[in-house]
Homo-oligomer: A and B are copies of this chain.
């Protein structure tokens, strides 16, 4: 019988890993969390080398976080960014984080988003995207980011989404490189 329900659960270590009450005022501090999640996800054996977080840009606290769960959950949609965005929307009870009365939010990701995640962040209502490693860093170890073009970023800009690239890039790319060195699986469709 085909399934009619899916349950998506963060690994147990994640909740303890995050300092939920600690403000991260700088982009670098926010990125440290995303990179830390990526590294811990590999070390914990719970998924691929990618981490993400949604931050409230007024309190500067994380609202939700995500790690890559593609292999552990056998679900190709569960990139770190998708997990973080879905959990942020569930936490706030709103399908858009740009709803009236909400503070602006940022999606912080340890690596530039793939085509799927770039689309998802547009629909999520986040006002800012902050990225660590680049598309080239991901491609170097064999991960395909899909049909993302300069015009895709122009699309974000035209809708008022700010973009910061290469935040702590070296540290973020090192997680990818270490993953390759450890013979981590490269799972494209």
Q: Which residues of A contact B (CB under 8 A)?
A: 1-10, 14-15, 18, 20, 62-65, 70-71, 73-77, 82, 85-87, 89-91, 93-96, 98, 114-120, 122-125, 144, 146-149, 151-152, 155-156, 159, 187-189
Contacts and interface: CB of A to CB of B under 8 A. Distances in A.
Nearest to A85: B77
A155 B62 CA distance: 35
Contact of A86 (B6, B95, B148): B6
A5 B87 CA distance: 7
A71 B99 CA distance: 13
Given A118-B119, A147-B155, 9 more contacts: A2-B62, A3-B87, A74-B89, A76-B124, A77-B120, A98-B189, A115-B119, A116-B122, A146-B155
B115 A152 contact: yes
Nearest to A88: B2
A90 B123 contact: no
9 contacts: A2-B87, A3-B90, A5-B8, A6-B86, A74-B90, A77-B86, A77-B120, A77-B123, A116-B119
Q: Which 7 A-B pairs have the closest CB atoms?
A: A116-B119, A115-B119, A147-B155, A147-B152, A76-B123, A123-B189, A4-B10
Contacts of A187: 95-96
A133 B98 CA distance: 28
Q: Which of A4, A62, A118 has the most CB of B within 10 A?
A: A4
A95 B76 contact: yes
A149 B151 CA distance: 9
A65 B8 CA distance: 18
